[in-house]
Amino acid sequence: MVEKQDTITKGLDEAIVQKFKASFRGELIRPGDSGYDEARKIWNGMIDKHPALIARCTGAVDVINAVNFARANKQLVAVRGGGHNVAGNAVCDGGIVIDLSRMKGIRIDPVRRTARVEPGLTWGEFDRETQAFGFALPGGIQSTTGIAGFTVGGGFGYLSRKYGLTVDNLLAADVVTADGRLLIASKTENSDLFWGIRGGGGNFGIVTSFEFRLHPVGPVILGGMLLYPLSKAKEVLQFYRDYSAKVSEELSIFFGFVTAPKAPHIPEHTQGNPVLAVIISYAGAIEEGERIIQPLRKFGPPDVDLVEPKPYVTLQSMLDAANPPGWQNYWKSEYLKGFNDKTIDILVDYAAKRPSPMSKIIIGHLLGAVNRVKDDETPYSHRDAPFIINIISMWSDTTKNEENIKWARDLWNAVQPFATGGVYVNFLMTEGADRVMAAYGKKKYERLVALKNKYDPTNFFSMNQNIKPGKL
């Protein structure tokens, strides 16, 4: 253990850390401290890394000091927002975690319809504050996800068909760069950096404050799930395939091959069974939404109809119980050109043979406002892809890693003929340089490398879906 601890804390002896402490307002957590094991945990239970130091920042100055300290002491750096990223880059072995999770300030300007937000907020916390004023922003469909890593990767949710990606609503950001400067990034200031952080991930610096445009939404919105037995999934997806091509932008549809929970609102005969969940939300007048979703309610009909007017914050946390922290997680994702009968057969087959009931296949329907923004406006790409599939393998028994990982990989291989070849950077595990390139395409990737050369030539920010600096 002593040997392991020495390796972890390499280059960071007590005296150096004590000196740093004098310049730091937040909390410093080291191996051996009582909160250390809790502080190094992230959402994906598969990630078990041991940083030499966790620097829990209170504000931008702490972030600047942590960056300067890490650079001076040649330490590997990981940046943690909400700690939800499945790849586990929010924490490192050895080195320093610059932990933003306690930076939770938010200020709403109800007149300008904007929000100034610190990077430690989760979507649940963000929604709570903005909804008090009747506003929302396209954000994650799980309330515990962090806004920071989410935003710098692009970000989509139930409101995206109507209001675009999260980055399409980003007006400005404060960014601490690798040399310890704090830069304002917006359309008019450091506009190249502003371009880079709208999908280029954490490659260019640490965002200490985001300014977002807000939209009037809720506080009550029509949404929820329709559940169908797996035996009916094929005809339901055939119906939705055609239906989704012509629906209005207010209507958002996500499909989930999931296990029906054992919960009081689910009829007993459905509990614990594999089902197709059609997750619906309507970002418009409730009566209009009720009219528009009539054909959906009639088709089948569904076994369980849980679609009703509900608080937007309830809709946004509806899936939380299905994605608890600490489970083993292995994901594979891809954008889909669409789905034909063959794809549907594959999905139903793999849904039936999930090795773990917690595993799921989620398909999101995008386009709409996402596709109205020009492709070169942001690093986030593949705006013309109608669907995105996320194959989520989730299990708890670590002796069963192999079969659970295999299930996700096999399904991913099977859907390749229907995939666009593009991938969403926020759903990537550690999958190699080709997959990072696939998130952007060659031309944009080269633009990102040029930006990396300018803002982070030493690859100080390397714990991410890394864009390596160097020759183009």
Ligand X SMILES: Cc1cc2nc3c(=O)[nH]c(=O)nc-3n(C[C@H](O)[C@H](O)[C@H](O)COP(=O)(O)OP(=O)(O)OC[C@H]3O[C@@H](n4cnc5c(N)ncnc54)[C@H](O)[C@@H]3O)c2cc1C
Q: Which CB, 77 or 293, lies closer to ligand X?
A: 77
Inter-residue contact 382 to 335 (CB < 8 Å): yes
**C-alpha distances in Å from residue 320, one per residue of 45, 68, 127, 142, 438:** 16, 37, 14, 6, 29
Q: Which CB, 8 or 362, lies closer to ligand X?
A: 362
Is residue 43 a contact residue for ligand X (CB under 6 A)? yes
Residues 155, 199, 218, 379: which binds ligand X (CB under 6 A)?
155
Is residue 90 a contact residue for ligand X (CB under 6 A)? yes
**C-alpha distances in Å from residue 91, one per residue of 39, 64, 396:** 10, 18, 21
Q: Which CB, 244 or 426, lies closer to ligand X?
A: 426
Binding mask 98-137 for ligand X (x = CB under 6 A): --x------------------x------------------
Q: Which CB, 281 or 343, lies closer to ligand X?
A: 281
CB of 167 to ligand X, least distance (A): 10
Residues 26, 140, 200, 223: which binds ligand X (CB under 6 A)?
140
Window 187 to 216, contacts with ligand X (CB under 6 A): 201-202, 206-207
Spacing of C-alpha 314 from chain mean position = 19
Residues 40, 84, 447, 452: which binds ligand X (CB under 6 A)?
84
Residues 66, 115, 148, 170: which binds ligand X (CB under 6 A)?
148
CB of 149 to ligand X, least distance (A): 3
Residues 177, 244, 323, 404: which binds ligand X (CB under 6 A)?
323
Residue with tokens 């395409």: 441
Binding mask 258-297 for ligand X (x = CB under 6 A): ----------------------------------------
Residues 67, 204: Cα–Cα separation, whole Å: 13
Is residue 82 a contact residue for ligand X (CB under 6 A)? yes
Residues 31, 51, 81, 379: which binds ligand X (CB under 6 A)?
81
CB of 178 to ligand X, least distance (A): 12
Residues 65, 259, 356, 426: which binds ligand X (CB under 6 A)?
426
Residues 24, 69, 126, 156: which binds ligand X (CB under 6 A)?
156
Helical residues (DSSP H) of 245-359, grouped into ranges: 286-292, 294-298, 312-316, 341-352
- Which spans of this chain sit near ligand X (rule: CB under 6 A)? 43, 79-86, 89-90, 100, 119, 140-142, 145-146, 148-150, 152-153, 155-157, 201-202, 206-207, 323, 426, 463-464
